[in-house]
Structures are given as C-alpha cells and as structure tokens.
Structure 1
Amino acid sequence: MSDQLLPYLEAVYGLVNVGIFILYGFDKMQARREKWRISEKNLLIGSVFGPFGAFLAMQIFRHKTQKMKFSLLVPAIMIIHVILITLLLIKGW
C-alpha cells in the first residue's frame, strides 16, 4: 500500500470510531429522554466498523453494558480488528 494513502486510511478509521462513539452517546441520551432510539442491530453493525469507539462509549456512557450480546460481540470485534491491524503492519501495509 502506498505510504501516501496510509495517513488517509488511518484518519478515516479514526473518524469512523469517533462517529460510532457519538452514535452510542446519542442513543444513551435518547434512552434517558425516552425518545426514538437507534436499533441494537444498527449499533452492532456500527461496531463492526468502529469497535474501539463502541467499546469506549459503552464504558463511558455505561450503555449496553448489561446486554450480553454487546458485552461479548463488541470486545470480540475489537480483538479481530487488533489482529487484522497487526497482520497488516507486519506485512508492511
């Protein structure tokens, strides 16, 4: 992969995680107000693309931490991302 492209990919990855963090925070705010919520399915789909933001939001906002599927899937997805990123770095990408 081009060294020129890598900073952009890192920025996009970081922004996606920030976006997912905000999404979880918004859903927590909506839950407190008893208003329209983001579906669990959509939160989990977002977690596939931004697991670090999802995990951090779960801890900071104390949101979805009692839901077994979130407590298991989000850390598992995060571990998969760590493995994939490590493999990419080892291969020189």
Structure 2
Amino acid sequence: MHAFIGAYLLLINIIGFLSMFIDKRKAINHKWRISEAHLLSIPILGGGFGSWVGMYTFRHKTSRIKFNLGIPLIIAIQLILIFLIFGRLY
C-alpha cells in the first residue's frame, strides 16, 4: 500500500511539474493554454510540490495570488491532514 501511495505521489508531482512547463511554453508561443482550474486541480490531487517547483523553475504563474499563495496553502493543508491521520494511526 505504501509503495502505491509513493508511486502515485511521484507521478502526480511529475505531472504538476510538467504541466507548468507545458503551459509556460504554450504561453510563450501564443498557443492554446492549460486552464487555471486544471493547473490548480493537480496540487489538490497531491501534486502540489511538483507544481510549486515547476512554477518557480519556469517562472510561470508566480504573479498570480491564487497560485503564489494557493499552492503553498494546499500543500500545508495536506501536510496537516497527513499528520492528523497518521499521527492517530501510529
């Protein structure tokens, strides 16, 4: 079970990182973009760290408050929930 969770988190964070890269490239080339709702759904699904790293690596969406504050807030809430859930289990 832990291996599955670890593999899922690795994959979703890679997707988050790559989605920031792809959207940045599309913005530079004036192409069809990935929606902000989709970009924010990835952190909610567990890809917050990858999205956050991608955001700053590619300097993409860093001036948008909902990304600049929202993604770290999502990560913090998820970490608190993990601590509360696993703190009671062990």
**TM score, norm. by length of structure 2:** 0.89
One of 54, 76, 80 as aligned partner of 1:83: 80
* Cα deviation, residue 47, structure 1: 2.0
1:65 has 2:62 as partner: yes
Structure 1 SS opposite 2:69: helix
Aligned residues: 89
Question: Matched residues in 2 for 1:43 and 1:26: separation?
Answer: 11
One of 41, 44, 48 as aligned partner of 1:45: 41
What CA RMSD, in Å, does the superposition of the two structures yield over aligned residues?
1.4
- Large movers: runs of 4+ above 3 Å: none
Give the 3 Å change call, closer, same or farther, for CA 91–10 of structure 1 in structure 2. farther
Structure-1 residue corresponding to 2:24: 28
Aligned-partner residue type, residue 53 of structure 1:
G
One of 8, 12, 18 as aligned partner of 1:16: 12
* Cα deviation, residue 52, structure 1: 0.7
Question: Matched residues in 1 for 2:14 and 2:78: separation?
Answer: 16
Identity of aligned residues (%): 38
**TM score, norm. by length of structure 1:** 0.86
